[in-house]
């Protein structure tokens, strides 16, 4: 879209008809050329594909090296961005503006910046031209993109290293690393996408990598079923993405004087913020895009693929289905926040689709995490629940809180997944109830890192999850006590859902820790701690799970100097025209203390049940128990029903797989095909037969007597044209042809006479 940008200094007269985009085409080399970061793993993918099998370590070394370089570059890019954010003074020469159709908009887009604006760095080139317009491809680098680059490359690097041990000796080791590389490249492309079309391409590519890696062991049907389910569910959401992007494309075009559409993210957001796009169009596209978010980021009611996706290798679950790909939906909302903020009227409201979806998801995920035997499924539902938190936060206007939670969650959830993989590596199973228990002694490192990750997830201070979750709760603006409010509206309902989830999260993680690491070992064989390539990544992630929260200490937090507060927000949240003017909630001591008490209550009740009651019962019976034989579900019918509902995952899978998918594949498809064969095709056959019969009649009764000459002529013409072919022509075909052409001539005559 470069040709759409003009530079303000050039034409002062246009000043009334232009909007600043808050992006610049200048900036440090590393920022302008961030496309190199995805390029490296992309090359590595090609390299592994063609030469991987011949390498001494079967291609793994190439994958690790590539993502390692990408990580270093991402860190350097991050540093460059920090410098850019603080020191790059975009003046009118370097700040890109866009020509718009109406002149009255300039006053809408003005700064949300208390300080000088953060100018995102944009660098584009032409991708293709069609329909008289140019579609570009390029990078849009700002705090959000840089943060994502860091998270993706870091987690991916750790997962690569971990995988060299975890999937060592696998039947498709090389293939596995090739897809890890392709995934990393696609995901990195996604986070620096300059326009929605590029985003869509990367979005689908990460989806297909996810498909391939979930189905990594495709010999077993459940695995390929899970991969199919993931892909198809995401396709359902992608319908929304296709339609949403299309609506945005044209509604942006209607606001521009010289183009009928535009995919540019910065342009779209700026126009949305400035009120130049119709609210209806924004609402429609935001709702459609929401469908894509629901499938990609596992939001209720399109979340059902994510737990099944655990059929893939565990490091894949950590990378794709916890830390990176599943947050793509959250990222997209954050990226197109102007559209969502205006479309859902987030500011000054108290309820909207996004907040409700997020709130319900967080509850649904947390409740389902309770009844799983499979440790990875607990974590999967937990991921759903935490993604719900992020969407909820975006829905209430707490942008930085959501993005910060994305950041912290990536570390502690990856830590937990890799921890579960370490356990499973030892016992060759994911079933907590039948094959685990008492593993803290044999696996001290895994145990400690897992507990750290759990506390971070549960959200107890001062670990990472506490800070980001607390920000989200404060951001709902629903906490009226003691002055801690002032968000974008009073989303009290969302605050309550978030609180309940906090308690549930602490409780189910306590259950997991008990079932896995306490009690007596219920599995078979000798277990011992995993090797360094597994343990070291665990400790790195655990370390980050401890300290990541400190990057964004709340403003006005009296215990630290001001220069250490809100560092994450300062560098990540855009202060530019393409970002909507959101209000920030002020944090509250009372809310922080209350939520901590809620978490402790949740953890405490699970502790009382497992560590005291079950443990005592186990001692009494001399066995290793996982639940009380006379627990609530066996005593109270209502609890039993609730438990059944959860065991059946709210019956959503029955609806989707059993009714919708099977119904389409079975009765509906068969009915359509029967219609095809019995009705349409039979009609064709009948028409053909009738034609033959009447043709015979015409030939016998009319042709021979009346139009003999005419047919002879056309027949002769056909023979001459046929030439050599005549010898092999069957007489039948020839006479059909002759009759048809004669008929055509007659028909043409009739038509000309009539009309």
Partner 1 sequence: MENLLDSWGLTAATFVPMLGVALMMFVPKEKEDLHKKIALVTSLVVAVIGVLLLVQFDLDATGQLQFAVDHMWIDVINSHYAMGLDGMSLPLVLLTMLVVPLCIVYSWDHFPAPANPKAFLMLILILETGMIGTFMAQDLVLFFVFFEVVLLPMFFMIAVWGGEDRRYASLKFFLYTLFGSALMLVSFLSLYFLSGAESFVLTDLAQAVAENGISRTAGLWIFGGMLLGFGIKVPMFPFHTWLPDAHTQAPTVGSVILAAVLLKLGTYGFIRIAIPVLPEAAVEWAPWIGLLAVVGIIYGALGCLAQTDMKRLIAFSSVAHMGFVMLGISTLTDFGINAAIMGMVAHGLITGMLFFIAGSIKERYHTLDIARLGGLLLKAPRMGWILGLSVMASLGLPGLAGFWGEFPAILSTYNPANGLPVETFRTYMVISALGTVLAAGYLLWLLQRTAFGTPTEEFADLDIPDVTRHEWIAWTPMIALILAIGIYPNLIFRVTDGAVDASLNECLQVNTQEMSAEDIEALHCAPVYNLGSGAHVVDEHAVSGD
Question: Which of the residues 109 through 128 are near partner 1 (CB under 8 A)?
Answer: 126-128
Q: Where in 273-302 is the site for partner 1 (CB under 8 A)?
A: 277-281, 284
List of residues 6+ apart from 704 with CB closer than 8 A: none
Q: Where in 467-486 is the site for partner 1 (CB under 8 A)?
A: none
Beta pairing class for 95-99 and 5-7: antiparallel
- Adjacent-strand bridge partners of 6: 97
CB atoms near residue 330 (< 10 Å): 25
Q: Where in 183-222 is the site for partner 1 (CB under 8 A)?
A: 200-202, 204-205, 208, 215, 218-219, 221
Strand runs labelled E in 58-164: 95-99, 120-130, 133-141
**Identified binder of partner 1 from the candidate list 164, 184, 251, 446, rule CB under 8 A:** 251
Q: Where in 637-696 is the site for partner 1 (CB under 8 A)?
A: 661, 664-665, 668-670, 672-673, 676, 680-681, 684, 688
In angstroms, give the least distance from the CB of 312 to partner 1. Answer: 14
- Return the DSSP state at 613: I
Contact region with partner 1 (CB under 8 A), list: 6-14, 243-251, 607-615, 704-712: 243-251
Q: Which is nearer to partner 1, 129 or 704 (CB)?
A: 129
Of 377, 213, 387, nearest to 293 by C-alpha is 387
Q: Which is nearer to partner 1, 49 or 69 (CB)?
A: 49
Contact region with partner 1 (CB under 8 A), list: 52-60, 228-236, 371-379, 388-396: 228-236
Q: Which is nearer to partner 1, 130 or 620 (CB)?
A: 130
In angstroms, give the least distance from the CB of 257 to partner 1. Answer: 8
**Identified binder of partner 1 from the candidate list 4, 247, 380, 494, rule CB under 8 A:** 247
Q: Which two tokens stand for residue 292?
A: 């894509």
Q: Where in 716-755 is the site for partner 1 (CB under 8 A)?
A: 721, 724-725, 728-729, 733, 736-737, 740-741, 743-745, 747-748, 751-752, 755
Q: Which is nearer to partner 1, 278 or 623 (CB)?
A: 278
In angstroms, give the least distance from the CB of 519 to partner 1. Answer: 38
Q: Which is nearer to partner 1, 132 or 637 (CB)?
A: 132
In angstroms, give the least distance from the CB of 293 to partner 1. Answer: 16
- Adjacent-strand bridge partners of 121: 24, 141
Give CA–CA dist 746/738, Å, rounded.
Answer: 12
Q: Which is nearer to partner 1, 257 or 556 (CB)?
A: 257
Q: Which is nearer to partner 1, 210 or 468 (CB)?
A: 210
CB 53 within 8 A of CB 59: yes
Q: Which is nearer to partner 1, 186 or 588 (CB)?
A: 186
Q: Which is nearer to partner 1, 619 or 665 (CB)?
A: 665
In angstroms, give the least distance from the CB of 703 to partner 1. Answer: 17
Classified as helix, coil or strand, 302 is coil
In angstroms, give the least distance from the CB of 197 to partner 1. Answer: 8
Residues touching partner 1: how many (CB under 8 A)?
75
Contact region with partner 1 (CB under 8 A), list: 239-247, 381-389, 451-459, 533-541: 239-247
In angstroms, give the least distance from the CB of 67 to partner 1. Answer: 20
Q: Which is nearer to partner 1, 202 or 410 (CB)?
A: 202
**Identified binder of partner 1 from the candidate list 238, 308, 470, 573, rule CB under 8 A:** 238
In angstroms, give the least distance from the CB of 120 to partner 1. Answer: 24
Q: Which is nearer to partner 1, 197 or 351 (CB)?
A: 197
In angstroms, give the least distance from the CB of 61 to partner 1. Answer: 23
Q: Which is nearer to partner 1, 410 or 698 (CB)?
A: 698
**Identified binder of partner 1 from the candidate list 2, 33, 94, 246, rule CB under 8 A:** 246
Of 403, 346, 341, nearest to 578 by C-alpha is 341
Q: Which is nearer to partner 1, 288 or 391 (CB)?
A: 288
**Identified binder of partner 1 from the candidate list 260, 482, 608, 636, rule CB under 8 A:** 260
CB 742 within 8 A of CB 714: yes
Distance in Å from the first CA to the final CA of the chain: 50
In angstroms, give the least distance from the CB of 297 to partner 1. Answer: 18
Give CA–CA dist 138/334, Å, rounded.
Answer: 19
Q: Where in 503-532 is the site for partner 1 (CB under 8 A)?
A: none
**Identified binder of partner 1 from the candidate list 19, 23, 188, 255, rule CB under 8 A:** 255
Give CA–CA dist 663/683, Å, rounded.
Answer: 27
CB 654 within 8 A of CB 648: yes
Q: Where in 65-104 is the site for partner 1 (CB under 8 A)?
A: none
**Identified binder of partner 1 from the candidate list 56, 114, 132, 622, rule CB under 8 A:** 132
Beta pairing class for 18-24 and 120-130: parallel
**Identified binder of partner 1 from the candidate list 11, 51, 93, 235, rule CB under 8 A:** 235
Give CA–CA dist 188/202, Å, rounded.
Answer: 9
- Adjacent-strand bridge partners of 565: 553
238 to 206, 244, 245, 467: CA distances (angstroms): 13, 9, 10, 33
Instruction: Judge residue 621's burial from the number of C-beta atoms within 10 Å of its C-beta, 0-12 exposed, 13-18 middle, 19 or more buried.
Output: exposed
Alpha helices in 651-727 (DSSP H): 652-653, 662-663, 669-675, 681-697, 708-722
Q: Which is nearer to partner 1, 343 or 453 (CB)?
A: 343
Give CA–CA dist 226/229, Å, rounded.
Answer: 5
Give CA–CA dist 91/24, Å, rounded.
Answer: 9
Q: Which two tokens stand for residue 497?
A: 């859902």
Q: Which is nearer to partner 1, 639 or 680 (CB)?
A: 680
Helix, strand, coil % over all residues of the chain, rounded to 5: 70, 5, 25
Classified as helix, coil or strand, 129 is strand
In angstroms, give the least distance from the CB of 186 to partner 1. Answer: 9
Give CA–CA dist 289/243, Å, rounded.
Answer: 8
CB 58 within 8 A of CB 173: yes
In angstroms, give the least distance from the CB of 397 to partner 1. Answer: 23
In angstroms, give the least distance from the CB of 294 to partner 1. Answer: 14
* Lateral strand order in the sheet of 18-24: 5-7, 95-99, 18-24, 120-130, 133-141
In angstroms, give the least distance from the CB of 130 to partner 1. Answer: 4
Binding mask 694-723 for partner 1 (x = CB under 8 A): ---------------------------x--
Give the sign of the dihedral formed by CA 52, CA 532, CA 421, CA 300. Answer: negative
Q: Where in 3-32 is the site for partner 1 (CB under 8 A)?
A: none
Of 48, 329, 71, nearest to 188 by C-alpha is 71
List of residues 6+ apart from 751 with CB closer than 8 A: none
List of residues 6+ apart from 323 with CB closer than 8 A: 151, 152, 155, 409, 410, 411, 413, 414
Q: Which is nearer to partner 1, 205 or 496 (CB)?
A: 205
Q: Which is nearer to partner 1, 545 or 739 (CB)?
A: 739
Q: Is 43 in the site for partner 1 (CB under 8 A)?
A: no
Contact region with partner 1 (CB under 8 A), list: 64-72, 158-166, 254-262, 595-603: 254-262
CA of residue 180 relative to chain centroid, distance = 17
In angstroms, give the least distance from the CB of 172 to partner 1. Answer: 9
Q: Which two tokens stand for residue 713?
A: 């002529």
Q: Which is nearer to partner 1, 434 or 676 (CB)?
A: 676
């Amino acid at each position: 879209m470069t040709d759409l940008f003009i530079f303000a200094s050039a034409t002062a007269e246009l000043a009334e008809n232009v909007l600043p985009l808050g992006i610049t085409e200048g900036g440090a080399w590393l920022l302008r050329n961030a496309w190199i970061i995805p390029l490296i793993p992309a090359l590595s993918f090609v390299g592994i594909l063609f030469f991987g099998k011949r390498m001494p370590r079967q291609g793994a070394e190439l994958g690790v090296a590539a993502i390692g370089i990408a990580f270093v570059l991402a860190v350097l890019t991050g540093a460059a961005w920090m410098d850019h954010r603080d020191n790059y003074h975009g003046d009118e020469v370097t700040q890109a503006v866009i020509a718009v159709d109406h002149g009255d908009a300039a006053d809408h887009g003005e700064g949300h910046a208390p300080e000088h604006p953060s100018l995102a760095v944009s660098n584009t080139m032409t991708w293709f031209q069609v329909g008289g317009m140019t579609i570009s491809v390029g990078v849009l680098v700002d705090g959000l993109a840089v943060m994502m680059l860091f998270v993706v490359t870091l987690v991916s690097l750790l997962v690569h290293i971990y995988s060299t041990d975890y999937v060592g000796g696998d039947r498709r080791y090389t293939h596995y690393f090739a897809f890890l590389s392709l995934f990393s490249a696609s995901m990195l492309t996604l986070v620096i996408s300059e326009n929605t079309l590029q985003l869509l391409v990367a979005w689908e590519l990460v989806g297909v990598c996810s498909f391939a890696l979930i189905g990594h062991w495709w010999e077993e049907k459940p695995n390929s079923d899970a991969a199919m389910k993931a892909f198809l569910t995401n396709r359902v959401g992608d319908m929304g993405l296709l339609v949403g992007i299309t609506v945005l494309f044209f509604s942006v075009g209607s606001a521009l004087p010289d183009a009928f559409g535009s995919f540019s993210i910065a342009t779209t957001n700026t126009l949305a913020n400035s009120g130049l796009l119709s609210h209806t169009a924004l609402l429609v596209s935001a709702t459609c895009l929401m469908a894509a978010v629901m499938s990609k980021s596992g939001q209720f009611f399109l979340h059902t693929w994510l737990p099944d996706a655990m059929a893939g290798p565990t490091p894949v679950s950590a990378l794709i289905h916890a830390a990176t790909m599943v947050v793509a939906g959250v990222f997209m909302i954050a990226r197109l926040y102007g559209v969502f903020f205006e479309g859902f009227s987030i500011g000054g409201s108290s309820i909207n689709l996004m907040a409700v979806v997020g709130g319900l998801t967080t509850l649904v995920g947390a409740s389902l995490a309770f009844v799983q035997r499979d440790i990875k499924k607990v974590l999967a539902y937990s991921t759903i629940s935490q993604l719900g938190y992020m969407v909820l936060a975006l829905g209430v206007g707490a942008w930085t809180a959501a993005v910060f939670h994305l950041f912290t969650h990536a570390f502690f959830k990856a830590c937990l997944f890799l921890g579960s993989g370490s356990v499973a590596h030892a016992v060759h199973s994911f079933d907590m109830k039948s094959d685990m228990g008492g593993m803290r002694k044999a696996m001290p490192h895994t145990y400690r890192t897992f507990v750290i990750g759990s506390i971070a997830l549960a959200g107890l201070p001062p670990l990472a999850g506490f800070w980001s979750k607390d920000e989200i709760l404060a951001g709902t603006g629903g906490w009226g006590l003691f002055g801690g409010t002032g968000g974008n509206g009073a989303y009290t309902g969302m605050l309550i859902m978030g609180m309940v989830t906090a308690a549930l999260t602490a409780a189910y993680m306590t259950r997991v820790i008990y079932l896995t690491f306490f009690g007596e070992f219920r599995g078979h064989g000798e277990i011992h701690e995993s090797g360094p390539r597994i343990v070291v990544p665990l400790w790195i992630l655990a370390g980050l799970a401890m300290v990541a929260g400190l990057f964004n200490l709340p403003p006005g937090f009296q215990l630290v100097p001001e220069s250490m507060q809100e560092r994450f927000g300062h560098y990540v949240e855009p202060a530019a025209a393409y970002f909507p003017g959101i209000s920030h909630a002020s944090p509250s001591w009372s809310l922080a203390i209350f939520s901590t008490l809620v978490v402790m209550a949740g953890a405490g009740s699970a502790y009382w049940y497992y560590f005291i009651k079950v443990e005592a019962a186990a001692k009494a019976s001399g066995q290793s128990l996982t639940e009380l034989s006379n627990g609530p579900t066996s005593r109270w019918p209502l609890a039993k029903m609730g438990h059944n509902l959860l065991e059946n995952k709210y019956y959503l899978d029955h609806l989707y797989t059993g009714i919708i998918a099977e119904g389409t594949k079975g009765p509906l498809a068969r009915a359509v095909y029967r219609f095809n064969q019995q009705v349409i095709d039979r009609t064709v056959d009948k028409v053909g037969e009738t034609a033959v019969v009447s043709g015979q009649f015409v030939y016998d009764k009319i042709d021979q007597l009346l139009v003999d000459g005419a047919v002879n002529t056309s027949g002769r013409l056909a023979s001459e044209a046929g030439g050599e072919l005549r010898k092999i022509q069957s007489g039948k075909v020839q006479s059909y042809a002759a009759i048809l052409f004669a008929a055509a001539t007659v028909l043409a005559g009739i038509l000309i006479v009539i009309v």
